[in-house]
């Protein structure tokens, strides 16, 4: 655990920016936390190739810090959404998603008010061209449609990579369904993939 006011990081194989409500999500979710002293070192390590997993508020922070393209804005319904969703895996070519199959449907929980992913036309085209979309909100059958979109994210996008796929930002919480005792284990493959890749 690293406190936000720290200015240095020890040697790390992986950095995780967890969910939560950094600074109470005042101003704009993740905007203030992105300027915490420790984030200068997180950004430097990420740019040097250290994998970064950014979950929920961590995704918002990573986007605000420029580690990931696009922005997270208030949900289309302007309400906090907390429930399980289905995701379609869009890419298995990363240290995070290597234990999933492209097109596989998994179930993970979400809990956010500002999870509506937005990217402008050129940025969205680049994401698609570079295979940077990690997950999309989908129906249990794998269909991507308006009905399966819980927050209004453009293209039903639930998670994106940076250009080198060493940073993953996602609104759903894989850690909350990583053990059958938690009600499901669809998130466990992500941590198994990371453990294998970083061993």
The catalytic residue positions are 56, 173, 175
Q: Which segments of 67-187 does DSSP mark as H helices, in order?
A: 121-129
Compute CA 102 distance to the chain's CA centroid, rounded to the nearest angstrom: 17
* Residue 177 to residue 79: CA distance in whole angstroms: 23
* Residue 153 to residue 37: CA distance in whole angstroms: 30
Token pair belonging to 26:
């005042």
Using CA atoms, how far residue 196 sits from 9, 13, 94, 103, 177, in Å, is 23, 12, 12, 22, 19
* Residue 54 to residue 50: CA distance in whole angstroms: 13
């Amino acid at each position: 655990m690293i406190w936000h006011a720290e200015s240095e990081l020890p040697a790390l194989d992986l950095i995780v920016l967890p969910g939560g409500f950094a600074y109470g999500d005042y101003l704009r979710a993740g905007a203030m936390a992105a300027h915490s002293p420790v984030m200068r070192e997180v950004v430097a390590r990420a740019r040097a190739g250290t994998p970064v997993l950014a979950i929920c508020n961590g995704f918002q922070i990573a986007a605000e810090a420029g580690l990931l393209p696009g922005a997270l804005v208030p949900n289309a319904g302007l309400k906090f959404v907390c429930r399980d969703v289905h995701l379609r895996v869009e890419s298995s070519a990363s240290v995070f998603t290597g234990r999933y199959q492209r097109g596989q449907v998994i179930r993970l929980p979400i809990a956010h008010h500002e999870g509506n992913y937005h990217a402008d036309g050129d940025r969205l085209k680049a994401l698609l061209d570079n295979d940077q979309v990690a997950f999309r909100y989908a129906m249990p059958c794998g269909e991507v449609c308006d009905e399966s979109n819980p927050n209004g994210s453009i293209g039903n996008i639930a998670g994106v990579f940076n250009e080198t796929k060493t940073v993953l930002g996602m609104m759903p919480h894989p850690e909350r369904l990583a053990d059958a005792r938690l009600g499901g284990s669809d998130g466990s493959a992500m941590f198994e993939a990371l453990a294998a890749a970083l061993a």
